[in-house]
Amino acid sequence: EHAPGFLYGLPIVVKDSEPLAGVRFVCGSPLYTNRIARETSPLLEILEAKGALIIGKTNTPEMCAGMHTFNPVFGATCNPHNPNCLAGGSSGGSAAALACGQAWLATGSDLGGSLRIPASYCGVLGFRPSSSEEAPGDVSGPMA
């Protein structure tokens, strides 16, 4: 038998830019309202293999493009500390879910601040791992 992974039983939420097999994969776009992911992303496969429990997907701006978290499919994600303020973007759904206690860990992605900005707006931690010299650009990272 295998020992439980180090994330065993930890409830997590994942940004809707990460496909999870059998679950809607919308990226906030009306073009993809009924799209169902056929495969699970490598990141989510690793998290599940380590024992994490994916309990939900989080809101993003349409096509994950924006420093806000509003889209025409699911609407706006408000800052849980002040509903009149933004949660930031594009990982604002993940940051807001953490800030209001829905999960202990979340995924996000970052090209120009999409992990760090919502984390700072919502009072949580967003970590942008360094990209390799060969492939700079968008990276996935954790929020807690």
Domain assignment of residue 4, yes or no? no
Any domain includes 24: yes
Exposure class string for 53-91: b at 16+ Cβ within 10 A, else e = ebeebbbbbbebbbbbbbbebbeebbbbeeeeebbbbbb
Structure tokens at 71: 């889209």
Q: Of residues 17, 41, 114, 140, which has the active-site annotation?
A: 114
Let me know if residue 6 belongs to a domain.
no
Active site residue 90: yes
Q: Note the pTM of the prediction, 2 decimals.
A: 0.91
116 domain-assigned: yes
Domain count, the chain: 1
Question: What domain range is 34 assigned to?
Answer: 11-129+139-143
Domain contains 2: no
Active-site annotation holds for 131? no
15 among known catalytic residues: yes
Q: Which of 41, 90, 109, 140 is catalytic?
A: 90
Render the burial of 99-134: b for 16+ CB within 10 Å, e for the rest: beebbebbbbbbeebbbbbbbebbebebebeeeeee
Q: Is residue 18 part of a domain?
A: yes
Q: Is residue 66 part of a domain?
A: yes
Which of 15, 29, 41, 91 is catalytic? The answer is: 15
Domain membership flag for residue 134: no
Provide the pairing of β-strand 78-79 with 82-86. Answer: antiparallel
Give the tens place of pLDDT for each residue, 16-60: 999 999 999 999 999 999 999 999 999 999 999 999 999 999 999
108-137 confidence digits (pLDDT tens): 998 889 999 999 999 999 988 776 655 556
Q: Which residues pair with 54 in a beta bridge?
A: 12
